[in-house]
Amino acid sequence: MRPIATISILGFALAALPHAASLDALSGGALTLALGVLAALLASGRGALSVALGALAALAYTYLAPKAPELAAAIFVAGAHGARSLRGRTLALRGAHTLASLAAGAIAGLVLSRYGDADPGVLAAAALVAGLLSAAPLAIPADDATTFALNGLAAESDEPTRSLLSRAVAIRRRVDAATIEVLPPRVAEQLESSWTALLETARARATARSGAATLLDKRIARFIDALERIYTAAEERAARAAGLDDKALLAAKMEGDRLEAEVSALIEVSTSVRVEGDAPATKRDEAASAESAAPAAAEAQLAN
């Protein structure tokens, strides 16, 4: 659901921003700022950094749009994806995410510049294409805010905290949307609350010393064990739910068995027909052999 909302908002924002200039300064500025922040929150997730980069993207668009609309669109889309770009799992992925955001925004801006004055139906189609292009960087993997924070704390911590937090990051990255969808909404909310509590505990552990550090490590380990059990159960539930819908597979198997039986029956029939067809020929050969052997036998009797 969120990717669809992201595509819609990015496309609508890029289509609506050029018309914000026709409004008065207060209304146009408020609309541009609201679209920038909303696009950033959907593309990069909730957080102060998303809000800040979305607002900066809106400000940059307002300044650049009259001079270079394609560049303004590129900066706007890059700002919307900015917080997510910074959460790339490697430096190369962060750079690729940023470049993809700039390229997608520039192409989206070019599309809307070409069809910005078209009929409403054509403009809506162009906005949809622009939204799809602007959402393309979402295909590049990046961590969410919680996973990124846990990974950073793991890198700064000593053992055994580092191993525990690295395990938590691996669990968080392993879980996909399909696994979350099988969980009741109440359980999903409780899980997110547990992850938030784990992150707060990890931050407290980063500044703790001696005995308090040991207690916090044990608490972190309990958090991770509980979360891993829950996600393992959710994955098993998702696998069982997928296995229940085997009607198509069962129908295909039954059709295959039926065809195999028909082929076997045809082979048996063709074999029996061939055997029956060969039988008269065998009898004729035997009769011919007998007829050819009769004169030889008679000659042998006369000779005796």
Tokens found for residue 3: 């990717």
Query: Between residues 15 and 249, which one has the greater pLDDT?
Result: 15
**Per-domain boundaries in the chain:** 2-139, 145-244, 253-278
Query: Between residues 181 and 245, which one has the greater pLDDT?
Result: 181
Query: Between residues 141 and 279, which one has the greater pLDDT?
Result: 141
Q: What percent of the chain has pLDDT over 90?
A: 18
Tokens found for residue 57: 């993207």
- What's residue 240's pLDDT? 67
- What's residue 37's pLDDT? 92
Mean pLDDT for the stretch of residues 98-124: 87
User: 106 pLDDT band (50/70/90 cuts)?
Assistant: very high
Query: Between residues 287 and 228, which one has the greater pLDDT?
Result: 228
Cα separation, 81 vs 261, whole angstroms: 59
- What's residue 285's pLDDT? 52
Q: What percent of the chain has pLDDT over 70?
A: 75
User: 78 pLDDT band (50/70/90 cuts)?
Assistant: very high
Mean pLDDT for the stretch of residues 196-201: 90
Mean pLDDT, the chain, rounded, equals 79
Query: Between residues 118 and 251, which one has the greater pLDDT?
Result: 118
Q: Which amino acid is at 142?
A: A
Q: Three-state SS string across the chain, please?
A: CHHHHHHHHHHHHHHHHHHHCCCCHHHHHHHHHHHHHHHHHHHHCCCHHHHHHHHHHHHHHHHHCCCCHHHHHHHHHHHHCHHHHHCECCHHHHHHHHHHHHHHHHHHHHHHHHHCCCCHHHHHHHHHHHHHHHCHHHHCCECCHHHHHHHHHHHHCCCCHHHHHHHHHHHHHHCCHHHHHCCCHHHHHHHHHHHHHHHHHHHHHHHCCHHHHHHHHHHHHHHHHHHHHHHHHHHHHHHHHHHHCCHHHHHHHHHHHHHHHHHHHHHHHHHHHHHHHHHHHHHHHHHHHHHHHHHHHHHHHHHC
Query: Between residues 12 and 234, which one has the greater pLDDT?
Result: 12
Using one digit for the tens of pLDDT, what is the confidence trace for 23-59?
Answer: 777 888 888 899 999 999 988 888 889 999 999 999 9
Most confident of 140-154, 183-197, 232-246: 140-154
Rounded to 5 degrees, what are φ and ψ at 93? -70, -35
Residue 6 Cα to chain centre, angstroms: 15
pTM: 0.67
Using one digit for the tens of pLDDT, what is the confidence trace for 127-147?
Answer: 899 889 999 998 888 888 888
